Structure 1
Amino acid sequence: MDNYTKKWADGPFKLLSTPRASLEGKPESLASRNASEMALVHNILLRGLNSIYLQAPNVKETNDIADFVKFCDAWSSILHSHHAAEETVYFKLLDEQSSQDGVFIANHIEHEKFLPGLLAFDLELIDAFGTDLESHLHHEISVLEDLGRDDSIDWEQCGKAMAQFSKKNSDRVWLIDHESLASTDILIDFHHFLGLWV
């Protein structure tokens, strides 16, 4: 088995299937595209979490510990940044535009549920929040898919606003220091869609 087909960090926290994968070549709506892109970002977060979970027991050498702590810090920083973008821009825009009242209240509550554990992780352990985070990352995609029936949402505006917020709030030095995390959690050939992240 070559490096591109091995499953390196697919568990214990389950990865998402992109909504795009279920279309089987049918045209994709903007809601599905947004949900698929969010699923890909969530899979980077889940792969990072799985990598940390699986590697932690094996890190014993002093120089490995320093590298591992840096990897954990990079993962935590990316999750904090993603959470801030969702809470500050993405959910807010979707809530304002949706004809459904309070569609993201449950997601906000889920964020609040795993944040104390994430803050504890910044100091200590994944087990304090991993299951809540996994559940939230999966649930958010189904909420986005369900909003596909809501014609009042400007999906392009929401996607652009999320991207602009992320770019505006990312620190270039931080990105250079942390880019290896995202690149290690990308798998090119998932769902037979060449070039999609999972």
Structure 2
Amino acid sequence: MTSDKTGSPWADGPWQLIETPSKTEDTSRHAAVYIANEMAFAHNAMLRGLNALYLQADLSELQDIKDFLFFLRSWAGWVSHHHVLEEEQMFPQLEEVMGKPDFLQGNIDEHHTFQPILKKLLAYGDSRPEDYQASTVRSLIEEMAPVFRNHLANEIPSLLAMEPYDGPALLRVYKECEAEAGKQDKNVIPPMVLGLRDITFEGGNQWPAMPPLSTYFVHYIFARKHAGAWRFLPSDSWGNPRKLEFASS
């Protein structure tokens, strides 16, 4: 886990990020490599969110707690939606393209190792700020994080193993699921995800690829409604890492 220049911890730990395929592979070689790489970046955004929640859980002001609980609920809801989309749409359709039923079943089975705790975190996000206990959030994260991080890492080689199969058809499935994911609340998911990336990671990256000016729309329009919650994000809307405002040194 790295620290900023003040010595405070940052959101690349305590649970370690995942090396992306693009560090060593040409993602244009096959759709499987592209899909695995996109997923690795998304998984790292999830891990930064988990780390940011863990490191900033100690709060005393009611407004800060209220905003933190919204961030917790948003993060847990996003992660839950991601895995439901995989189970119900993406993975079955990828398996259909490959003609390989249960090719990704092991990854689906891993979802059930952390989903019960994820549901508890999601429910805790609805707590009254007056009842908030940092120890509860940290305890739940400590219980979930090892198996969650293990799953996120394991899924990447599974996706890379799709390379022998029909690349264009696999990519169509992925893009359809990406479009479905994009239907989530624009006032919540885009501002949060953009603030969970790090454009300096692995020497520099531009994940996710976005149309010109999209970031400006997210930052100046969509992020405004819940701006208080985005104070807990580890990066600004442009993916530049910043000090965790509420982390203890």
Question: Which TM-score band applies after superposition, normalised by the shorter structure?
Answer: 0.7 to 0.9
Query: Deviation per CA, 1:152-198, whole angstroms, max 9, x where unpaired?
Result: 77222121221132134x2xxx3203433212211112223431359
TM-fit CA distance, 1:108: 1.1
| The one of 14, 18, 43 aligned to 1:16 | 18
Larger radius of gyration between Structure 1 and Structure 2: 2
Deviations 1:113-133 (A, max 9, x none): 111111122235212311111
Q: For residues 178 and 27 of structure 2, what CA distance do their matches in structure 1 show?
A: 26
Residue 188 in structure 1 maps to residue 199 in structure 2:
yes
- Alpha-carbon distance in structure 2 between the residues aligned to 1:36 and 1:111: 20
133, 137, 148: which one aligns with 2:148: 133
| 2:165 counterpart residue number | 150
What residue in structure 2 maps to residue 94 of structure 1?
94
What is the CA distance between 1:83 and its match in structure 2?
A: 1.1
CA apart distance, 1:146? 1.6
Conserved? CA contact 2:21–2:27, under 8 Å: no
CA RMSD of aligned residues (A): 2.5
1:160 aligns with 2:175: yes
**Matched residue pairs, number?**
190
- Secondary structure of 1:11's partner? coil
Stretch deviating more after TM superposition (27-36 or 94-103): 94-103
Note if contact 2:12-2:48 (Cα within 8 Å) is conserved in structure 1. Answer: yes
Q: TM-score, normalised by structure 2?
A: 0.68
Offset at residue 31 of structure 1 (A): 0.8
Whether contact under 8 Å (1:52, 1:72) holds in the other structure is yes
Q: Which residue of 1 aligns with 2:30?
A: 29
Determine the C-alpha separation between the residues in 2 that align with 1:156 and 1:26: 12
CA distance in 2, matches of 1:127, 1:45: 15
Shift of 1:100: 3.8
Identity %, equivalent residues: 30
Partner of 1:118 in structure 2? Answer: 118
Judged with a 3 Å threshold, the aligned counterparts in structure 2 of structure 1 residues 181 and 109 are, in CA distance, closer, same or farther, namely same
| 1:83-110 deviation per Cα after TM superposition (whole angstroms, max 9, x unaligned) | 1211121101111122444111111111
Q: 1:186 to 1:133 in 2, by over 3 A?
A: same
Unaligned runs of 5+ in 1: none
The SS at the match of 2:102 is: coil
Cα distance in 2, alignment partners of residues 135 and 2 from structure 1? 26
1:42 is aligned to 43
1:17-63 alpha-carbon deviations (Å, 9 max, x no partner): 1111112x68532111110001111111111001001111x322211
- Any conservation in 2 of the 1:110–1:136 contact (CA below 8 Å)? yes
Contact 2:54-2:141 within 8 A present in 1 as well: yes
Q: Is the 8 A contact 2:73 2:121 kept in 1?
A: no
Describe the shift of the 1:179–1:160 C-alpha distance in structure 2 as closer, same or farther (beyond 3 A).
closer
